[in-house]
Structure 1
Amino acid sequence: MSIRRRSVLYLGLASLLNFSVSVLAWDFLGLFANTLPPVLSICVISLSITALFVSVWVLTTVVTMTWLRRIALMVVFAASLATVLGEVMVLISEDGSIGVGLIPATGTLLHVLLAALLFTLCFIHNAAKNIAGMTRDQSISTRD
């Protein structure tokens, strides 16, 4: 497998993981129809934290454009923070108000936005670099 393909694979897997946070949180597949609500919240929290670590690793090792990496890191931190804190607030709230539910909903929508960004980065040829340590010498040559 070439190094460029491996970078695209990492970006694609991180994108899929972030998209799965939203799919799991909204329970599109109906997996948690017969379980208690805390089970779904705990699964969403753990998947969001996993998506945070995977996305940060992929963004710091693969993406070369500094401004793009910073924007994506801000989005992934905001998405995970909103999702995790919102789900914890939903777990401990007694009334289940709509305001409390909007926080994790915003976090999951940010995860979808990040998944779209990571998926788009798979096709931007200059945004992803070869992974360090796996390439041949790429020193900068000067023109005389």
Structure 2
Amino acid sequence: MQDPLKLDVFICFAVYTASHALNRVYKPLLDTLGLTYPQYLAMVALWEQDDQTVSGLGEKLYLESSTLTPLLKRLESAGYIRRERSREDERVVVIRLSEAGIRLKEKAIGIPGCIAEASGRDAADLTRLRAEIVALREALNGSVNLDAR
């Protein structure tokens, strides 16, 4: 019988360390854009769909407002986005890409290919792996006691 308290059998440790390895590959690529990884994710989400609310973006990125707001302030200071109060409901903040933010996409377009190349995996294998990780995330999120959230 295998010891259940060994790091090499923990799926969480494998995912955790893979995440760190991905961040090490991303860092020099994102440094050329002047972005951190969370800022990059926010920009990718905005390139997919501009004109989003802070709460909507937070849901997509699985980030709390207290984490997302400082990140967005830094993107705004860099000139990549604008944060504006909604005309319909002033409690809602809408995020829009600036011209500089739109242009930044062209500089970032090659990053996913660099990550794929660094992984040493083909596109089909990466697609399968991503699907498995998403399924794991959804299963884990579904298993959390809703009352505990």
TM-score (norm 1): 0.27
Query: Which structure features the higher share of strand residues?
Result: 2
Taking structure 2 as the reference length, the TM-score comes to 0.27
Greater RCO, 1 or 2 (C-alpha within 8 Å, sep 6+): 1
